[in-house]
Structure 1
Amino acid sequence: MRLEKDADFDALAAAFADLTTHAGAIAMEVLAAPAIEARAKKDASPVCEADERIEAFLAPRLAELLPGLPIVAEEAAAAGAQFARAETFLLVDPLDGTREFLARSGEFTINIGLIVAGAPRAGAVYAPALGRLWFAGARAFAADSQPGLPAPPRTAWRPLRVRALPAEGPTALVSRSHLDAATTAFLEERRVAATRDVGSSIKFCLLAEGAADLYPRFGPTMEWDTAAGDAVLRAAGGGVVDPAGRPLLYGKAGEAYRNGPFIAFGDPAAARLC
């Protein structure tokens, strides 16, 4: 697949979307089991059968879609895989929000992101339990989509655009499982109209569709946690910056693909509150 024009990135995003909706059937199959076994990884985060099976489903299909392109995937990284530094590569989080998944909450997602020169250029985020799909290349879209079925046709896509900052102040999103003191202090120092707890990369997508305005994150995340949602948000007119106001950078192989603190926003006016 050639990646030269905006239309190429839109087509790639649609292909990512289709892969995530098919992978969603795996998540729902595991979720339907009477018990879900999980274990702790070296970083103490949980991993379960769904993480591993979804990654095993996605990796060969992405390799076929984009031959030769490096795939940096969460469970491969956790198993000790080494990834060569590359300007263009894929970031895959097969199950973002594993804690939500284990709690049988619907707020978990399947994520694929394409990175070019340190920035996300295409991505897809799928929440199979909610039947909600968000994806973006040059433009951002949302659609309703059932797990295990092909992604909806273009006629069912809804364009996404961030909303203007409300006069009463921003609605902020915080992590359902990882709220920390730094985030709480950040919000207390600003005129925030409301705060919502939301799991996984859905937070980026809610900003992109104009349902909220601000998502500060000071706790640890990895690049595969954010790449797909960041792609959707940027294409919808928002952004993700570090505390100094610089766009969140991807491809930090020397730092094991760890992110630093960041603030995601819809309307750039919300970023000025930071």
Structure 2
Amino acid sequence: MNDPATTGRLDLAKAGRDEAALLLARVALAAGPGVMAEYAHGGPARAKGDGSPVTAADEQAEATIRERLAAWAGPIPIVAEEATAAGVPIAIAERFVLVDPLDGTREFIARNGEFTVNVALIERGRPIAGAVYAPALERLWFAGARAFACAAPLGADLPRREAWRALAVRAAPPALTALASRSHGDSATEAFLAGLPIADRRSAGSSLKFCVIAEGEGDVYPRFGPTMEWDTAAGDAVLRAAGGATLSVEGGPLLYGKIAAGLRNGGFVAWGDPRAAARAVHR
């Protein structure tokens, strides 16, 4: 990957995966200060039409992300959660950007720090680059062809290359560590986990679950409750680049750009070691 200081304006419709990852990382970082200003302010949440919560932080982060993409990237379709909720039609192309400006709004409201800014580049249904920024934790995960993590102080630009740590999933041990949603449990997930050799369970909010597995600190994250593509794309990009896989319950990789489904995901399971997925199928 090139030094981010020299990245400049980049045409995301044509860019290589690594160059795209750097730009997306910088875009995600730029949204952090506004999110944390609202976090400190403690403003109220309100319900959207689907009943999910939204705050001023969601809206401000999305505006910042759009502004930075307009300034730093060439023309490319952008599908963002709050704009879509407000009725903006979904428009995609062979490549498009998915934005969840504040994944884990419930964690934001609960003030536990486990919320993230997520930006991903999709190509032909696959997340080929992405960035996940946890501003309260001052931690960034990003990926193109490879995945990295680094400390990312609030308001700072992307650190230089020597500060990045390359990520790789671990080989699945005989007894697995499962990641589960802190705010969205369901009976199907519990039934799935009951059929696996689980030694430990960790709860985490937002897309952090993908990142924990990408760092080699967990093995499996099942999710059978409803999610949207912007909820998963950036974390999925990081996990895949670290050697993991996110598989739909119907079989095959989780796909993106599902216009007919309104960009809703079906059930999926994220795995660190894809061989563990194959063993689970044959149990």
* TM-score range relative to shorter protein: over 0.9
Give unpaired runs (5+ residues) of structure 2. Answer: 1-9
**Residue 65 of structure 1 aligns with which residue?**
72
8 Å Cα contact 1:2/1:8 also seen in 2: no
Letter in 1 for 2:194: E
Give unpaired runs (5+ residues) of structure 1. Answer: none
Measured in 1, the distance between the counterparts of 2:109 and 2:210 equals 21
**Residue 184 of structure 1 aligns with which residue?**
190
Secondary structure class of the residue paired with 1:149: coil
Q: CA deviation at 1:202?
A: 0.4
Q: Does 1:120 align with 2:127?
A: yes
Measured in 2, the distance between the counterparts of 1:130 and 1:162 equals 21
Measured in 1, the distance between the counterparts of 2:178 and 2:98 equals 26
Measured in 2, the distance between the counterparts of 1:155 and 1:190 equals 38
Measured in 2, the distance between the counterparts of 1:175 and 1:15 equals 29
Q: CA deviation at 1:14?
A: 1.3
% same residue: 59
Deviation string, structure 1 residues 200-254 (Cα, Å, up to 9, x no partner): 0000011111010000000000000001000000000001001133100100112
**Residue 3 of structure 2 aligns with which residue?**
none
Q: Does 1:138 align with 2:145?
A: yes
**Residue 231 of structure 1 aligns with which residue?**
237
Q: CA deviation at 1:142?
A: 0.3
8 Å Cα contact 2:11/2:73 also seen in 1: no
Task: Say if 1:176 and 1:68 are closer, same or farther in 2 by CA, change over 3 A.
Answer: same
Query: How many pairs were matched up?
Result: 271
Select which of 9, 15, 34 maps to 2:23: 15
Q: Which runs of 4+ in 1 moved over 3 A?
A: 2-5
Secondary structure class of the residue paired with 1:63: helix
RMSD: 1.4
Letter in 1 for 2:79: V
Q: Does 1:157 align with 2:167?
A: no
Measured in 1, the distance between the counterparts of 2:160 and 2:53 equals 35
Give TM-score, length-normalised by structure 1: 0.95
Deviation string, structure 1 residues 181-211 (Cα, Å, up to 9, x no partner): 1101111122111111110000001111101
**Residue 266 of structure 1 aligns with which residue?**
272
Measured in 1, the distance between the counterparts of 2:192 and 2:64 equals 39
Letter in 2 for 1:9: R
Q: Does 1:94 align with 2:110?
A: no
Deviation string, structure 1 residues 144-200 (Cα, Å, up to 9, x no partner): 011111111111010000001013x11010100001111011111221111111100
Letter in 2 for 1:242: S
8 Å Cα contact 1:23/1:147 also seen in 2: no
Q: Does 1:222 align with 2:228?
A: yes
1:188-207 equivalent positions in 2, closer than 5 A: 188-207=194-213
Q: CA deviation at 1:3?
A: 6.1
Give TM-score, length-normalised by structure 2: 0.92
Secondary structure class of the residue paired with 1:32: helix
**Greater alpha carbon shift after TM alignment, 237-246 vs 109-118:** 237-246
Deviation string, structure 1 residues 45-73 (Cα, Å, up to 9, x no partner): 10000000000011121133332200000
